[in-house]
Structure 1
Amino acid sequence: MCRIFWHAFGNVAIATKQAEHGGYDFVWGEVDRKNHVEQLITIIMGGTMAFCRNILCLLFLLIMSGSGCAGDNSSDFFKEGEQLLKDGNPGGAIVLFKSALEQDPGFYDARVKLGIAYMYSGKPEPAEKELQKAFHQKQDDPALLIAMARLYAAWNKGEEALKPLARLESLSMMNAESEELLGLAKAIQRDKPAAIAAFKRSLELEPKRHSARLALARYYFFQQMYDDARSELATLVVDTPDDFSALRLAVDLEMKSGSAESQKKALHNVLRVRPSDTYSRYWLAVMMLRDGDVTGAQVMLASMKKDAAEDYYTRMLEGVLAFRAADYTTALNQFQKSVSLKPTYDAYFKLGVAAEAKGDLETALSHFQVLVDRWPNDEASRRMIATILLKQGRTEEAALVAEKMVEINPENVWANFMLGNSLMAKGELDKAEQAFDAAIAKEPGMVLAHLRKGAIHKAKGETKEVQTSLESAVEGAPDNLLARTALANFHSQRGNIAEARKVLTGGLGSGSTGDAQVHNQLAALDVAEGKKADAIAHYDAAIKADPVFEPSYLGKANLLLAEGSQEKALAELDALLEVTPESVRGLIASAAILDVLGREADADARLLRARSVSQHPAVLELIAVRYLRKGRTDEALATLASGGGGVGSEPLINLRASILMNNKRPDEALQIYDSVIGTMPMLARTGKYRIYNQTKQYGKAFDVAREIETFATAPAETQLGTIYASRALEKQGKSKEAFDAIEVAYRSSPSPELLLEQASMSARQQNLEKAEAYLTACIKQYENYAPAKSALGNLYLLKGNRKEAMQIYEGLVQDGGADITVLNNLAMIYIDSNTNKEQALRIAYAAYLKDPANPAVLDTLGVVLLGNERAADAVRVFQRAVVLMPDRPSLRYQLGRALVGAGKRAEAKKELKSALEMGSFPEADKARALMGSLEKS
């Protein structure tokens, strides 16, 4: 009978809390604060079972009327209606009460019960109509006044609910039930003291009144009076340990303010009473994910799909698991289905996050805007909108959103931080600094604000102030590893390794994973100083601190590979696989090393294990390469196609097209990109652009570039289209037109990418001085833009300035901005200068373990292995590279060199002959000389 109170009260409490909604974490989501409103909606809409009972009741009446039972009087109908109401069938009761009133329109009790039946059927308008009619008959009936108060409370009309309660009070007829209703009415009116006092009076009159105590506990919860709520629930659990509503409220309470253990306990208590409850199963699965138990969460999902496949929480959990696996298309579908089942805040927010992760930024914006429209003060949604606008380069709009956040709540730390970010993106550094200062004033330990201030000072060339900002970040949050890393990098970049060590060492003791990360960074400093033994010791300490932290094993294995201890490196990866048998990175890395050693069967076994665990692109790439080496092209293509076409499959799609191009099948390669143009438009168009370039169809390449500009969803995409169009013009001999197009684009919308392209075009036209000038300007203006630094290093290498190039590359490695090209070039400099062969091998292996199917990486590793007198290993590496790029004469030349070193002269001659037949290439003279020496001997 009290059930409707809880639905009404949930609605009241939500109304009082909408303005206070705060942050949001995707993995955890939020306690479903809209749940109680949704239950009310369920009641208002009526249930399927109630509908069926109504139909049966009507049939019963028809049968009875046709069977000569017309003698039934209004009293009989009334009694039968009362029984149906007691049995929980208000729909059937309505039919009988109406029949009673047809025979006796003045039947007061039937009128009251009809209003109550309408109320329990979720039909407040006809309920009010009938109860008002009854009120005109009797104005002082306590049962009627209670029913009216209950209706208005359920209808969220606090002022209306107070009127019948005031009449009861004037009649001195207030009791525990009416005091409870008074508490609900006062809660609706947001009169906190009066609501709590009324609930307490109800309990004083009737200490065992379950509904009043649950209402009070719920009100305490929504007022964030968590200890009081917990106290009331503890009393309830003693009296009614299996009450589902109380146990569910306990879950909400623990999810908001409890520990992980108390949350799990509360969820298990619900499932003990109701094992099928999808809400509790969902949250248990989410907690499993937090603890890293993906398998447990998957098992929970399987059980939910078995008995509640179309349930809201089943769909939500499937979406969360898909999101975690980076399957954003599936996540989007599941969250969209969740929204259609229940348009909750949680579902809409996750839908927006999934769309943003997939790259569909406009769709993401629309979902977050729905939340802002419904909850105008919601900070989390506005923060996501500002973040997306910044990502799109829409800085003015982002700043307006951030300013609105500050206007809504000037004390909100994140609002001030987002405003600083937006102003910084606009180039208004002084105003941005003021916003970051405001955030720090409210939360001195906000590391990100300190780091952004440091970036502002760095852009202004204020080195001392940079250091001060970074030190403030560490002081404000001494356990924050991000802050310590930034300060340590600041010192190490200036050659102050000892100070960097001191900063990092101060972060030890924060926890298992945190300590492992610190030891890894200390190991990196050891490597930079050539202290290999110390680095190994730090990696061992990291493994001891957190045995499942993968980078520790991979870092140590890389050092062992550099010294030529391949079996020891494998042993380290085996140790990783002992503690985490399903480590995809561990399986891939060990398979890559086994490939170099020529142990193909063992490598195959590792890859098959990896594939059974995950459809990781690197796994499928390596398996495909194996098929290619055996001449089984169709199987290679099928393997790559099995990875699907969602987010994360980009390298697989590109490799499929590359294989088809190598096999002279350009039309099929184009079809692959056409097949994904609806879901991955940028990937499809950039892929088609490359194919048209390769086939020298520069006019079509130009048209595709214009399509990229036309359909761009962000400034960066527009600029890419402009760059591609200018390159197509350049290929058609229209260099001046191409260069002018880039200059016009830069004047319209300056960006480091356009400056870099101007430098690249100058270099392609052999104007190296002009190229260097552009790159220098780019680095000065965009100091943290790593591609410009990399390009400057490449330019120095082209000009023969190897020392300068090496310094730039080493700086990028230290800053963490080194891409595969940087690692390759640095390794080649080391091996060519014959000064640091072991370091060259370490860098080459680091790149190889990151991307074992990249032909450029394989090329570098092969050259470095040759330089370290490991020709047999080099042969196997070059053979894999040639499979991927069969038309590259340089690769065949290098394979020929390696075959000579391995004593396989006949095979070497064959590869050198193939290379020379392909036309000119940089090493052609060396290839001819080597071929000549082989023919003489």
Structure 2
Amino acid sequence: MNTRDSSMQRLRKATVSGLLATLLLVGCGGEKPEAMLASAKEYLAKHDAKAATIQLKNALQQKPDLAEARFLLGKALLEAGDATGAEVELRKAKLYQYPADEVTPALARSMLALGQADKVTDEFANADLSTAQAKADLQTSLATAYLMQNKPVQAETAYAAAVAAQPGYGPALLGQAGQKARKGELPAALVLVDSAIEKSPDLYDAWQFKGDVLSSQGDSAGAMLAYRKALELRPTYLPAHAAIVRLFMADGKLAEAGQQIAAMKNIAPTHPQTTYLSALMAYQQKDFPAARESIQQMFKFAPDSPLGLQLAGLIEYELKAYPQAEIYLLKALPSTPELGIARRVLIASYLRSSQPGKALSVLTPVLGKIDKDSNMLALAGQVYVQNGEIDKGGEYFAKAAALDPQNAGKRTSLAMVNLAQGESEVAFRDLEQVAAADPGNRADLALIAAHLQRREFDAALKAITSMEKKQPDDPLVHNLRGTALLGKHDLAGARASFEKALAVNAAFYPAAANLANLDIVEKKPADAKKRFEAVLAKDPKSMQALLALAQMRAKEGGSTEDVAALINRAMAANPTESAPHLGLIGLYLGKNDTKSALSAAQNAVAVLPNEAEILDAAGRAQQAAGEFNQALATYGKLAALKPDLPLPYLRMAEVEVAAKNKDAALQSLHKALKVMPDSLEAQRGIIMLELDAGRLPEAVAVARAVQKQRPKEPVGYIFEGDAYAAKRSWTDAATAYRAGLTQIPAATELAVKLHVAMSAGGNAAEADRFAQTWLKDHPKDGRFRLYLAEADTARKDYAAAAKQYRILLDAQPDNAAVLNNMAWVAGQLKDPKAVDYAEKANKLAPKQPAVMDTLGVLLMEKGDKARGVALLKEAVELAPQASLIRFNYAKALIKAGQKKEARSELEQLAKLGDKFAAQAEVSDLLKGL
């Protein structure tokens, strides 16, 4: 091996990505970090997250503080389904001062993927971002987090803020559509989702949501088509796989559901959605031990998932492990519906385990809300009887019985509860009986919807015929029949039914929208447009039709004036509806027409002065136009309207920072704290401003206040330690992190930060002793061991890195990524087992260019030139843009005496110029030929 080869070998780096089964494979090579970063960007542009991850990890082994690489690695891991690894890398990018506009939204999304909704809102509600894209992205994640916490009002505000920041932002439109759907406003929801699809046909999650809406309408076939479209656009998109699984489960097609879960396992075997559905499948099959095993796998990566905790509680309940069921259900309770299954099963668990006092404590908070819920009333009777209050128990049993069997509304509700609990035979029988006797349509609709959701289209058509006898002139009947016929793939029959609905009522928008959707699918947008125009001919005030036309016009490339004219018509016809106002403000902001946006906002506030979404949108428009005083006044009105929310003051602080009035921003943040004393957003903002002003003691005081408020959480200690670290006061930082570990002994994040602080403070020996102690006390802490492995590699202590990798391999002997890294490290140590590690990695992960590259290079060093060249040639063919692999292939060709072929490869690399960092060596090699 010549000097240049040795030099390139010394540049090799490797990392490992957090011990997940979805770990990506790390390659081997000698490219400079900047070149590997550029190569990773190319892979990300092609949605090749695996290849990008390989390049980024190698780059970071050479330069661990390369912030952009940390950020891109976090994004790649998130795209690949490794949310845990993504959060680790994104926080490192944040630590290395990567721009907040880039890292904060991605970090929020990674935390959401882990089910950390409360942490997202605590940490990011007051994030100071500057670009429209970043604000829209983060606000959408915040809205999702609020919904996960059952805070719909805050979610609405966040979605409005997202759309105000970047009008037409697809994910926010989907979020708003979701809120419409939850309110039962499915046509309005479809308008929003279709708008998102029209603007971005490749928005796979919009197709996903459309499938959700169609499924809610009972159109399982249409939903399946939408989900399949989402997978066509993004084959690895787990939510679409999960939705298909649920459709199959709802239809009782467990074999097909199992096949879909198997497909998910091929993509992301340890992803929380995969393991959750595996657990749910096993639960439905009454294989409770298997269900328990799967849900435990989920908890490794999403320990705080409300759905996961709820399912875990149900599993333990069925296994009669009531203490464990209690633990899970208590955790799930705050994040699940107030009268949902978690509370019911927790009460039942307490009753079964002879703990009626605990059952009463769980029941008491909702006693005033169960009067119309016969199941909860009966459960309350049981609780009071078991508590010895026989009379009171009898009262609740009497209330349950008072839900008269002849009362159609009460019986329908009870039947739907039975259906939701899986008692379908009883539920359908009750619904059929009520529907036959009730002159109204509530029971009919419940019965039809249930059949449609279960893909029982013939049964749905039978129920629709019964409903038609009662209401022959109702367009709803024909629209429902069209939906059922769509499920049977009878497109002609469906069209005829939708058209019949419009014949009964030409202004019946749902039928027109269904026909327009069919037209669009058949690539007949002009016909779709005529559908909405026909509705307007009969109902000139139809806001839905006008907004649908506006969206179509925008998609066609219509002028801002044309689109605005349609929105203005909708506004004039429906002046008290917020959607047209928000749409107009968003339209102008999207075109950077701040003057028109301000005018639209002013009009909106005049019409809807007490609408929080409008005030927030107006404030955004004013801020975008640089009208900071007006924005502050608007947010002041929002504060008066919502005095119990810190959001208005957080918004004010954002405006004041933009206006470079940091003292005023500090005051606003303190006002937010008065409203919500434990608001992490406000506290974090105050700490940042105090540090910016050079007031370290004040920043530390706030951090210590957080510690008192959240004594069992590491956040306060992290705040304090990070504040000292920002001022390079490593001893104080270490003291803060250590204090946190005293209170929260198993907090890996604090352990990592403490080790970093000790190392940065020049206490390497102490840091090593701490690491040894930590691993002795927490031998299964993979995240800390990963950190140590990266640190050892960064300082070229390959022996120490190899030791960590061996332990990782003991835990996961078939982890191809760890094997590949181990192979590289072993190569650096001249360990003869290096090729064995690489061979096993290649066997476990065949046809992976980076793994083939590692093995090929090691084989060349071993003297197996024929196989080494062959492997590297195939790796280049699989990854033609991977310049480092091509470079290794060229060097292998030279060693093998194939100079002509080597020249061809080197000349291709020479054409890359500065895009390939090792051009000097390329030039030298060419001269040598």
- TM-score when scaled to structure 2? 0.34
- TM-score when scaled to structure 1? 0.34
> Could you say which structure has the larger radius of gyration?
1
